[in-house]
Amino acid sequence: MKNILGKIFGSVLLCCILFGLFVLVTAPFEIYQKTVAESWPSRKAIVTKSFASSNRDRKEGVTWRPVLCGTYKDNGESFCVGRFRYGGFRFGTGERSAVEAAAKYSPGQEVDIYYSPDNPKKTVLEARSSWDEIFIMVGLAIFFLLIPAFIWLFRKMHKLR
C-alpha cells in the first residue's frame, strides 16, 4: 500500500513540475506577444460570423478555438481572426471558452481588428486584455515548482528529529 501511494505521489509531483516548466517556458512568448499587440493599430470591421472551431490533432486530440470572420469597413476585404487575444491559456479541450468567446460577437456587430504593422495578416481581436490570467498562471507555475523543494525540506527536517 505504501509503495502504491508513493508512486501516485511521485506521479502527481512530476505532473506539478511539468506543468510549472510548461507555463514558465510558454509564458514569456505570450507576455512578449501581448505587450507588442497592445501597440498595434486597428481597423474597423463588421462581423459576418463568429463560431467555435474544432481541430483534431494526433498529439492533443480535439482542441477548440474561437473564430471571427467579417469584412473591413475601409475596403470591404474579407478576413477571419483565429486568435482573439494573447495571454490566455486553454484548459482541457477549450471548447467551453471557445464557445463563450465566439458568442460575444454577433453578425452585424462593429469591431476593431488589431494588426501587426510588420505583417497585416497577423491579427487579434482583443489587443488590450487583462493581465490577471498570466499573473495567476505564472504564480501557479512557480508554486508547483516550489512544491518539491518544500517536500524535500519537510522530509529533511523530519529526519533530523
CATH code at 40-127: 2.40.50
Local structure of 13: helix, strand or coil: helix
pLDDT band at 43 (very low <50, low <70, confident <90, very high): very high
Domain positions in the chain are: 1-38+129-161, 40-127
SS3 100: helix
In angstroms, the Cα distances linking 34 to 23, 29, 133, 139 are 15, 8, 12, 18
In sequence order, what are the residues at sequence separation of 6 or more whose Cβ sits closer than 8 angstroms to the Cβ of residue 98?
A: 52, 53, 64, 65, 66
Q: Of the given ranges (9-13, 43-47, 73-77), which has the lowest mean pLDDT?
A: 9-13
d(CA 41, CA 32): 17
* Average model confidence (pLDDT) across the chain: 83
Residue 46 has pLDDT above 90, yes or no: yes
15 has pLDDT over 90? no
* DSSP labels, 19-41: HHHHHHHHHHHHHHHHHHHTT--
DSSP, collapsed to helix, strand or coil, labels residue 93 as coil
How far apart (Å, rounded) are the C-alpha atoms in residues 31 and 25?
11
pLDDT, tens digit (0-9, with 9 covering 90-100), for 62-86:
888 889 999 999 998 999 988 777 7
81 three-class SS: strand
What would the pLDDT profile of 102-143 be if each residue is shown by its tens digit? 899 999 999 999 988 999 888 888 877 667 777 887 888 888
Query: Residue 87: left if φ>0, alpha if ψ -120 to 50, beta else—which one?
Result: left
B/e letters for 9-48, b = 16+ CB within 10 Å, e = fewer, are eeeeeeebeeebeebeeebeebeebbeebeebeebebebe
Strand partners, 44: 112
